[in-house]
């Protein structure tokens, strides 16, 4: 698991190394929207009876900020399942 996480982090650093801080922030916002849209779709499919796995099964909860409420997938699922 650690090797996979290290490889993923290296790839992300390499892929985003040419971005300015403003571009990196814009990309992060767009990716959060993408994740939210995928989770919303998954929630709707679960409500319709599909019990398959969640979309983000390889998350690093500490890295995404889930404990602090910053994970876009978790935040979207919480909103979607709220009464």
Condensed to tens digits (0 to 9), the pLDDT of residues 3-39 reads: 766 777 788 888 889 999 899 889 988 988 888 888 8
Whether 42 and 5 have beta carbons less than 8 Å apart is answered as no
| pLDDT score of 60 | 67
> Could you tell me how far CA 57 lies from the centroid of its own chain?
10
Q: What is the pTM of this model?
A: 0.59
pLDDT band at 55 (very low <50, low <70, confident <90, very high): low
C-alpha closest to that of 52 among 66, 38, 64, 65: 38
Cα–Cα distance measured from residue 59 to residue 71, given in angstroms and rounded to the nearest whole number:
10
Mean pLDDT, residues 65-75:
78
Enumerate the H helices of 1-83 as residue ranges.
2-16, 21-47, 61-64, 72-81
Q: Which two tokens stand for residue 48?
A: 């319709």
């Amino acid at each position: 698991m650690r090797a996979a996480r290290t490889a993923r982090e290296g790839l992300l650093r390499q892929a985003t190394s040419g971005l300015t801080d403003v571009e990196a922030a814009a990309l992060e916002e767009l990716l959060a929207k993408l994740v939210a849209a995928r989770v919303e779709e998954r929630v709707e499919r679960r409500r319709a009876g599909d019990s398959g796995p969640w979309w983000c099964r390889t998350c690093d909860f500490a890295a995404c900020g889930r404990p602090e409420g910053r994970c876009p997938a978790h935040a979207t699922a919480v909103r979607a399942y709220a009464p």
